[in-house]
């Protein structure tokens, strides 16, 4: 009788742990971790240096655009990261990585990349792009305020 109780208890504990772990994994890797704030990437194609690194960055950037447009934000983030690892002055890659991070609910990373992109745009004299970044930051701020409001109502 004690063995039966032990087995039943073990099965229940394993089931609860499995459901909990599965839920956390889904929330991190699955759709549960996505909150699409920015539907489209920045499609402005940057100028890449005429080097091996520049051509690699160009490929990564294009792959990032394609992944983003397919809703694969984690893959897009990785591709834009690879692009800036090849050429660190690609404002558009930082900008798109920021949008992908925001859609993955990594708002702090998104803000850091938006700031870096704005610095690079400033160096390029791209005022229109800086205006877009201001709008992106305002959208992130609005989402944060809405989340805080929801938390306050829930408590």
63: left (phi over 0), alpha (psi -120 to 50) or beta: alpha
77, 97 Cβ separation under 8 angstroms? yes
- What per-residue confidence (pLDDT) applies to 155? 74
53, 85 Cβ separation under 8 angstroms? no
Q: Tell me the CB-side half-sphere exposure of residue 142, using CA atoms within 13 A.
A: 7
For the cut 90, the answer to whether the pLDDT of residue 33 exceeds it is no
CA distance 62 to 92: 11
Mean pLDDT of 53-70: 97
- Supply the pTM of this predicted model: 0.79
CA distance 115 to 126: 14
Tell me the pLDDT tens digit for each residue of 91-132: 999 999 999 999 999 999 999 999 999 999 999 999 899 999
């Amino acid at each position: 009788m004690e063995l039966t109780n032990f087995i039943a208890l073990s099965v229940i504990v394993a089931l609860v742990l499995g459901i909990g772990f599965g839920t956390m994994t889904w929330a991190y890797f699955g759709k549960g971790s996505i909150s699409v704030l920015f539907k489209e990437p920045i499609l402005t194609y940057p100028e890449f240096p005429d080097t091996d690194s520049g051509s690699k960055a160009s490929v990564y950037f294009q792959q990032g655009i394609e992944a983003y447009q397919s809703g694969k934000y984690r893959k897009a983030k990785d591709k834009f990261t690879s692009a800036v690892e090849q050429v660190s002055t690609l404002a558009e890659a930082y900008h798109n990585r920021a949008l992908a991070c925001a859609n993955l609910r990594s708002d702090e990373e998104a803000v850091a990349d938006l700031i870096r992109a704005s610095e690079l745009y400033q160096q390029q004299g791209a005022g229109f792009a800086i205006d877009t970044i201001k709008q992106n930051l305002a959208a992130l701020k609005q989402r944060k305020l809405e989340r805080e409001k929801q938390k306050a109502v829930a408590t």
